[in-house]
Every structure is written in C-alpha cells, then in structure tokens.
C-alpha cells in the first residue's frame, strides 16, 4: 500500500461532537509508522467513494441525521464500500443512521441498513463516562483492552440477529435501557450492550474522540484497512496516550 486513504464522511452535518478527530488519529498513527496517509473529506451531496481504505462517520443532531441518512441511502457509495469489506467506524448518530431505522424529528426514519438495529428513544438521557469490555465479535476478535469514551445520547438502539455488541458495559448506559427475558438468562445482547459490530462496520456511542482514547481500536482499524493482522503493526509507545488511558480506564 503506497498511501492510506481515510474517508471522513459528512463532517459538515455529522461533526457536532469532535468525532472528526478519529480520522486525524488514524492518519497520525499511520504516519508515525512511516505509512503515508491522507484524509479525504466527503461533504453532504458529494458522492462517497467506495474505494477508500477506511471510513469515519461522526455524530449529529436530528435534522443532520435525517439529511445524512437520505444522502447515504441515495448515494450507496458507503454501502458498496461495506460490501467490499472496507472498515467503517460509526459514532453515535452514525451508529443510528447505519441501522435499519431510527427516530428523529418526531418520526421514524429509514436507515442505511448496514447494521441490523433499530433506534427508538431512551427514557433517560445517557450522558457521562462510558466503559466496556470488548466482546471480540466479528472483525474485533483481536481487541483485548477495555474501551472508554464519553456517551451523550437519547437513542435506545436494539440489535437484531445479524449484529453483535462491540462491548459489554462496565460503566455508563451503553446502547439502551431495555432488555427481555433472554437477557436476564445471561444473554447481554441488549442488557449491558455497547455499540455494534456487523461485517466491516464497528459502531459505538463513545465520543472522546474514541480512537484517541482507545489506541488498540485505532490500530485495529488501520490493520483492517491495510489487510493485515493487528499484531503485524509496529507498536507505538506514546506517553501522553498511555497517561490518558490510565486516567480514564478505571
């Protein structure tokens, strides 16, 4: 690979919470290893290239979510990228719009359909520090370190049969406050679930930006983008990142 192409998707409408920083983290961690990397920004009403190496989608408010979903459904570039196995990181509203449907603007809105999930409304806003233990589902099988971030959402995201949680919550709310009898029996697919993994999509409610707080997750995305195993990436020892991890991961 001569250059890593990182897609920053619709930051003009899904850039409310600083999640653009995830693309910056990927670029910097690649460059620190001597890998040439550039960010390609795709704004609303611009076509989404399906041949980029990795994609980042952030969070936004109701109107922004609706605009983003309508554009991505019409354009289909991100769908083609997912079908080709390109890694996609989706944060908060990004998680919701990549599902089958979500609630925004007082109505149910069709999602892109890359995650088998529906989002309705929480009874109480989920806001504050969030932490989870990775489930190792799908392409996240190599993740071993706890995940941390800051959640701020009113969405209750219920996962269907084709999606798996990214993590099991140890702090904070996670995806939802709803669960059924099967969950009580020990299946935490709804109860204690955080985020979602399906195909090449990794989604989470964690801001931070999440990749700044979770370098192993950032490196997993880089490895997936490069078609190699996580263990094949040269380790990076960054004192400030290690200090942040120590402060935030309890």
The annotation places the binding site at 125
Taking alpha carbons only, the member of 116, 128, 80 closest to residue 189 is 116
Quick one: the chain helix, strand, coil %, rounded to 5? 30, 30, 40
Specify the length of the chain in residues.
250
CA nearest neighbour of 92 among 180, 209, 171, 199: 209
Q: Which residues are annotated as a binding site for substrate?
A: 125
Q: How many helices and strands (H and E) does the chain possess?
A: 8, 12
What residues are annotated to the active site?
A: 92, 207
Residue 167 DSSP symbol = E
DSSP 220-240: HHHHHHHTS-GGGSPP---HH
**Phi-psi category of 174—alpha, beta or left, where left has phi over 0 and alpha has psi -120 to 50?**
left
């Amino acid at each position: 690979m001569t250059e890593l192409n990182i897609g920053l998707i619709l930051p003009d409408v899904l850039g409310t919470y600083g999640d653009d920083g995830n693309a910056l983290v990927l670029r910097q961690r690649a460059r620190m290893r001597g890998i040439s990397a550039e960010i390609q920004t795709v704004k609303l009403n611009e076509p989404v290239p399906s041949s980029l190496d990795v994609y980042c989608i952030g969070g936004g408010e109701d109107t922004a979510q609706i605009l983003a979903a309508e554009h991505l459904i019409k354009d289909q570039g991100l769908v083609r990228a997912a079908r080709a196995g390109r890694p996609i990181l989706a944060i908060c509203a990004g998680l919701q719009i990549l599902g089958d449907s979500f609630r925004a603007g007082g109505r149910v809105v069709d999602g892109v359909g890359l995650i088998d999930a529906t989002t309705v409304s929480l009874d109480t806003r989920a806001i504050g520090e969030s932490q989870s233990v990775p489930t190792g589902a799908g392409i996240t099988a190599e993740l071993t370190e706890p995940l941390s971030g800051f959640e701020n959402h009113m969405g209750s995201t219920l996962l269907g049969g084709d999606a798996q949680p990214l993590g099991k919550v140890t702090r904070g709310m996670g995806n939802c406050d709803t669960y059924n009898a099967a969950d009580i029996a020990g299946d935490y697919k709804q109860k204690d679930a955080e985020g979602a993994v399906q195909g090449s999509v990794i989604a989470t409610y964690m801001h931070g930006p999440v990749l700044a707080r979770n370098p192993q997750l950032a490196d997993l995305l880089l490895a997936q983008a490069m078609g190699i195993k996580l263990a094949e990436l040269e380790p990076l020892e960054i004192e400030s990142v290690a200090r942040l991890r120590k402060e935030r991961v309890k």
